[in-house]
Amino acid sequence: MENNNELMDESMRPLNQAKHVTGNVIVAGKGEGEVIATDVPLSFWGGYNSETGDIIDHHHPLYGENLNGKVFVLPAGRGSCTGSMVLLQAIYSHNSPGAIILKQVDEIISLGAIVADEIFKMKLPIIALNGPDFALAQKASYIKVSEDGKVVINH
Amino acid sequence: MSNIKLSEWDKRLLEGKEGKAKQIAMQIIVRMADVQKAKQLIGISQAHIDGCIYTGEASLKFAETLADLNGEVSVPTTLNSISVDQQRWKKQGVDSGFAELANRLAQAYVQMGAKPSFTCSPYQLPEKPNFGEHIAWAESNAVVFANSVIGARTNRYPDFMDICAALTGRAPLSGYHLDEERLGDVLVELPGLDHIDDSFFPVLGYLVGGKVESQVPVVHGLNYKPTRDDLKAFGAAVATSGAVGMFHIVGVTPEAPTVEEALGQKTLTEHWKVTMEELKNAWKELNTANDQKIDLIAFGNPHFSISECSKLADICRGKRKHPDVNVLITTSRYVYEEARKQGLTDEIERFGAEFITDTCWCMIERPVIPEHTQTIMTNSAKYAHYAPGLVDCNVYFGSIEDCVRTATSGKPQVSEPKWLQENTYT
């Protein structure tokens, strides 16, 4: 989310290893954080608890992990259409990831964040990256996203 | 910023000349059209809203924001099942705080001009759409029925998009609104089957959805004329195990008079010959219980139709359910009223079953489901799939007739259906 980690000292991170890439901006915004990555799609409805930020899908490799404030790197969503409402609830109650990086444009995930932006003026940046850049993001430890879709990937 | 070609009317809406609520709705639609890579918007003639299910404060705030801005739907709009039965929640012991939030959410949509139809089977209402009409429906089973059985055209509209389309009468031209997206992807060839009953279609749907995911299946080789209730059950199942928004059954659904017409010029991704073993496994997957007792029979996921009420009334005439078993049926107020006029509800209630209106099984929790309930039997593949996770119960699945036999005896009467037993050749 915006304003997260604004005061973090840039010198703390190994900038020499950073890669700069540009993605397809689905929802513009600033965000940065530790990376939590998966190659398995997630249904936010039934797969994610909007009150705690935990992944609750027993069949998902990230089951039990918490997404709050992290940069969530996942290929796409899956499952229920109510995923938009669950993500909106998470953004609204400040339990969402700091940014989401996708490989495929996902309508259900996107809609939750678009509604948060339009109705509540709360921004959860969502960026789609191409295959090679997405693969880099999956292996990253820290990612920073800017308004214009520039993504700084630190390993 | 956007590559979408907007009409003069779209621009008026976007500029806020038709009010702030429609402006917000249009902004969301245009952004989603961009995400979907749509080139233009189209007019829709009606909407069905699923966003009236209470999922938390944000969903309520969203709807009340639009209602407070005097948002008003511009096309006939129906509402999906809500999270409570407005007439019975007190008697059912539902928490009053929760009921208040659920009712406020429904009220926000009613205030915007949506009809309080409160049903997940809007195709059972008099205002159902016609063949070829572009509509914006949400609720997976309603979407797949509208596209496949009626031949109306709708995408699987997520919650929020449904009300945006209703407020503006517009939607992105993409997906199932387009001819080519409605053609079949997978040819599903059935083995020769006899003795088909109402338990066959939910099982087949559950099997097909799990295999084809979001592709369009074309079912071929069915030598049986399914009823609308059979097609409802098939659609609900195929949209539970998969993300199917459209199917064809050759010789049955309106866009599939022949295999060739259902497939068009599209390249098949698969020609799948269904085996008896696959059908048997799907049936087994739906039966997750093995206890010798039964606490509850659940009918009406999706909402029971008048013809299902009539069938149930016939089967339970002169019988009485076992005192240890509860029999609950969810339906719309419209169907309940029509069934009442025909004397069907009296017959069913004499059997000992109870009706619930407005809400549906996907939202019903305890205490509406009696606290002691551990084992449920249902005729719905959709509910057989979701109930273990939703209400932590074991589930038996069977035909309406088997459900009634179970209700009267108080013991699960579950045997392999005849269409599985007597079709050993494949």
- What is the complex's ipTM, to 2 decimals? 0.83
Chain A's closest residue to B31, CA to CA, is A114
- Whether the pLDDT of residue B423 is over 80: the answer is no
CB-based contact B35 A110, cutoff 8 Å: yes
Is A110 annotated in the active site?
Answer: no
CB-based contact A118 B28, cutoff 8 Å: yes
Map residue B42 onto helix, strand or coil: strand
pLDDT of residue A2: 45
Identify the residue with better confidence: A9 or A31: A31
Q: Which residues from chain B sit within 8 angstroms of residue A29, using beta carbons?
A: none
Per residue in B50-88, pLDDT tens? 999 998 999 999 999 999 999 999 999 999 999 999 999
- Whether the pLDDT of residue A14 is over 80: the answer is no
- Whether the pLDDT of residue B332 is over 90: the answer is yes
Provide the CA A36 distance to its chain's centre, in angstroms.
9
pLDDT of residue A12: 53
Closest to B114 (Cα-Cα) out of B70, B58, B72, B54:
B72
Alpha-carbon span B144 to B214, nearest angstrom: 11
Nearest-CA distance B77 → chain A (Å): 19
Locate all alpha helices (DSSP H) within B119-171, ordered by sequence.
140-145, 161-168
- Whether the pLDDT of residue B167 is over 60: the answer is yes
List the Cα angle B389/B393/B397 in 5-degree steps. Answer: 95
CB-based contact A88 B62, cutoff 8 Å: yes
Per residue in B271-329, pLDDT tens? 999 999 999 999 999 998 999 999 999 999 999 999 999 999 999 999 999 999 999 99
pLDDT of residue B55: 86
Q: Nearest 10 degrees: CA dihedral of B171, B174, B180, B184?
A: -90
* Percentage of chain B modeled with pLDDT above 90: 90
Chain B's closest residue to A113, CA to CA, is B28
CB-based contact A92 B35, cutoff 8 Å: no
Q: Which residues from chain B sit within 8 angstroms of residue A115, using beta carbons?
A: 28, 62, 160
Per residue in A72-124, pLDDT tens? 999 988 767 778 999 999 999 999 999 999 998 888 899 999 999 999 999 99
- Other beta carbons less than 10 A from residue B195's beta carbon: 13
- Whether the pLDDT of residue B137 is over 90: the answer is yes
Q: Which residues from chain B sit within 8 angstroms of residue A107, using beta carbons?
A: 32, 35-36, 158
pLDDT of residue B424: 54
Mean pLDDT rounded to a whole number for chain A? 88
* Domains along the sequence of chain B with CATH: 8-179 (3.30.499), 183-285 (no CATH), 287-417 (3.30.499.10)
Categorize the per-residue pLDDT at A6 as very low, low, confident or very high, splitting at 50, 70 and 90: very low
For A82, the closest of B27, B32, B55 (CB atoms) is B55
Helix axes A83-92, B57-68, angle to 10 degrees: 90
Q: Which residues from chain A sit within 8 angstroms of residue B243, using beta carbons?
A: 78-79
pLDDT (mean) for A22-44 = 94
Nearest-CA distance A80 → chain B (Å): 8
Interface of A with B (CB under 8 A): 26, 46, 50, 78-79, 81-86, 88-89, 91-93, 105, 107-108, 110-112, 114-115, 118-120
Per residue in B295-306, pLDDT tens? 999 999 999 999
Cβ pairs bridging A and B (under 8 Å): 77
Q: Which residues from chain A sit within 8 angstroms of residue B61, using beta carbons?
A: 92, 119-120
Nearest-CA distance B59 → chain A (Å): 6
- Whether the pLDDT of residue A1 is over 70: the answer is no
CB-based contact A89 B57, cutoff 8 Å: yes
Map residue B189 onto helix, strand or coil: strand
**Span between the terminal Cα atoms of chain A, in Å:** 21
CB-based contact B65 A93, cutoff 8 Å: no
Q: Which of A11, A43, A50, A80 is catalytic?
A: A80
Task: Count H helices and E strands in chain A, helices first.
Answer: 3, 8
Q: Which residues from chain B sit within 8 angstroms of residue A82, using beta carbons?
A: 50, 53, 55, 158-159
Alpha-carbon span B244 to B234, nearest angstrom: 11
CB-based contact B31 A84, cutoff 8 Å: no
Per residue in B170-224, pLDDT tens? 999 999 999 999 999 999 999 999 999 999 999 999 999 989 988 999 999 999 9
Sequence-distant (≥ 6) Cβ neighbours of residue A132 within 8 angstroms: none
pLDDT of residue A11: 46
Chain A's closest residue to B27, CA to CA, is A118
For A119, the closest of B36, B56, B62 (CB atoms) is B62
Nearest-CA distance A87 → chain B (Å): 10
CB-based contact B160 A111, cutoff 8 Å: yes
Dihedral of CA A67/A73/A77/A83: which sign? positive
CATH topology of domain A17-149: Glucose Oxidase; domain 1 (3.50.30)
Q: Are strands B375-378 and A24-27 parallel, antiparallel or unpaired?
A: unpaired
